[in-house]
């Protein structure tokens, strides 16, 4: 068996800027150049995806960087086909680095005769030859149990905590962390503990999917700077309504920290017109031009965290150490200072 000298990265087309950033960060940590493997991932005229790897990967520890974001099906197929190409090229191990795990919202049967698509995707990834998955802020933590391979689920909350302590360093005592629904309380509580802030909840009731019938604030938010925390923002309708409710309940400012900025349909326009002073997302999903141009949307980098996690997997050290703010702060090398 050939000796694995360096980790090798290969990227699909879903988020090439993030893949390049991860490679640069790994180069800094390693003190030597870590490039993306030379390959082509393209489509035939009928939409079929074709992959060709131009470098020898026999016996190598391969990491595929690919979010399964919009277009979810195309990006998922790219991931599966890249994995198959690497397996057939005798790669020693294939790890899928999936910053945003698509289909995660379909993690259970909500009514009769519906699928559990997240489980189906897990089965497909394993069958394609993927030996390990690295992702961030799964919509439901139990999705890790859908896999019979190791799954490392990173958290954006330590990055958010660093940014909040920088952005609100003169008014930390005025902060109130808000969960936009009862199901997200654990996520919000985690961030609240990190920044030593109280917690409130927006209780929402839906008459049908995608439409909120009624919302109520549980907790005293008057005079507070509210920070809404969630794992993803899609059309931003519920988020903007929650911001309106908090403002009408006496909040002086409303900000949102959301791990994955899906931001589909009218989302960017809604955010730009919202009472929210800022929406902070990560770069787990490649930002569109509209997102980049929106004045009250900020994007935090995840490349330092994913680069370190990839190196930790490669050299067999702890990934869970990256759950701690104290561990991430030096990795971000003063990004949030001043």
DSSP conformation letters of 50-71: EEEE-S--TT-EEEEE----SS
Judge whether residue 1 has pLDDT over 50. Answer: no
Q: 168 with 271, same domain?
A: yes
Q: Whole-angstrom Cα distance, residue 120 to residue 57? A: 28
Please compute the mean of the pLDDT values over residues 106-127 and round it to a whole number: 95
**Residues pairing with 98 in the sheet:** 135
CATH number at residue 136: 3.40.50.2020
Domain assignment of residue 313, yes or no:
yes
Judge whether residue 7 has pLDDT over 60. Answer: yes
Q: 139 with 242, same domain?
A: no
Q: How do residues 55-105 score in pLDDT, each as one tens digit?
A: 999 999 999 999 999 999 999 999 999 999 999 999 999 999 999 999 999
pTM of the model: 0.94
Residues 6+ apart with CB under 8 A from 261: 232, 233, 279, 281, 282, 284, 285, 287, 291, 297, 299
Is position 114 annotated in a ligand binding site?
A: no
Domain assignment of residue 210, yes or no:
yes
Q: Which residues are catalytic?
A: 204
Is position 326 annotated in a ligand binding site?
A: no
pLDDT number for residue 208: 58
Judge whether residue 203 has pLDDT over 70. Answer: yes
Which region among 65-79, 168-182, 211-225 has the lowest average model confidence (pLDDT)?
211-225
Q: Whole-angstrom Cα distance, residue 104 to residue 116? A: 9
Which pair of tokens denotes residue 14? 């879903």
Q: 210 with 240, same domain?
A: yes
Q: Which domain holds residue 41?
A: 8-155+303-331
Is position 106 annotated in a ligand binding site?
A: yes
Q: Whole-angstrom Cα distance, residue 222 to residue 250? A: 4
Domain total for the chain? 2
Domain assignment of residue 3, yes or no:
no
Q: 291 with 315, same domain?
A: no
Domain assignment of residue 36, yes or no:
yes
Count of Cβ atoms closer than 10 Å to residue 114 Cβ: 10
Q: 259 with 315, same domain?
A: no
Confidence of residue 215 (pLDDT cuts 50, 70, 90): confident
Q: Is the CA virtual torsion 63, 65, 69, 74 positive or negative?
A: negative
107: three-class secondary structure by DSSP: coil
Domain assignment of residue 77, yes or no:
yes
Q: 139 with 16, same domain?
A: yes
Q: 92 with 123, same domain?
A: yes
Rg (C-alpha) for the chain, rounded Å, is: 20
Q: What percent of the chain has pLDDT over 70?
A: 95
Q: 273 with 246, same domain?
A: yes
Q: 201 with 150, same domain?
A: no
Q: 164 with 295, same domain?
A: yes
Q: Whole-angstrom Cα distance, residue 153 to residue 320? A: 9
Q: 181 with 208, same domain?
A: yes
Q: 205 with 141, same domain?
A: no
Please compute the mean of the pLDDT values over residues 134-161 and round it to a whole number: 95
């Amino acid at each position: 068996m050939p000796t694995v000298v360096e980790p090798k990265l290969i990227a699909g087309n879903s988020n090439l800027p993030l893949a390049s950033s991860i490679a640069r960060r790994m180069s800094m940590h390693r003190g030597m150049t870590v490039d993306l493997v030379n390959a082509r991932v393209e489509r035939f005229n009928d939409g079929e995806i074709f992959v060709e790897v131009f470098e020898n990967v026999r016996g190598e520890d391969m990491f595929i960087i690919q979010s399964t974001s919009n277009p979810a099906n195309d990006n998922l197929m790219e991931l599966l086909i890249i994995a198959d190409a690497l397996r057939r090229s005798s790669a020693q191990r294939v790890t899928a680095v999936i910053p945003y795990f698509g289909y995660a919202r379909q993690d259970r049967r909500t009514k009769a005769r519906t699928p559990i698509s997240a489980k189906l995707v897990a089965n497909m990834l394993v069958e394609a030859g993927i030996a390990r998955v690295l992702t961030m802020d799964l919509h439901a933590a139990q999705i890790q149990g859908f896999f019979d391979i190791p799954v490392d689920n990173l958290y954006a909350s330590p990055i958010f905590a660093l940014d909040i302590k920088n952005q609100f360093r003169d008014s930390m005592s005025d902060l109130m962390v808000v969960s936009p629904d009862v199901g997200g309380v654990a996520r919000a509580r985690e961030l609240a503990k990190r920044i030593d802030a109280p917690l409130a909840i927006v209780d929402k009731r839906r008459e049908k999917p995608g439409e909120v019938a009624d919302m109520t604030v549980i907790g005293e938010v008057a005079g507070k700077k509210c920070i809404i925390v969630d794992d993803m923002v899609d059309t931003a309708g519920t988020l903007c309504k929650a911001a309106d409710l908090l403002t009408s309940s006496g909040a002086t400012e409303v900000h949102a920290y959301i791990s994955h900025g899906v931001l589909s349909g009218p989302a960017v326009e809604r955010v730009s017109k919202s009472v929210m002073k800022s929406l902070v997302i990560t770069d787990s999903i490649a930002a569109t031009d509209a997102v980049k141009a929106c004045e009250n949307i900020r994007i935090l980098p995840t490349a330092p965290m994913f680069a370190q996690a990839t190196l930790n997997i490669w050299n067999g050290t702890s990934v869970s150490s990256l759950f701690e703010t104290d561990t991430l702060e030096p990795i971000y090398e003063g990004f949030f200072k001043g």
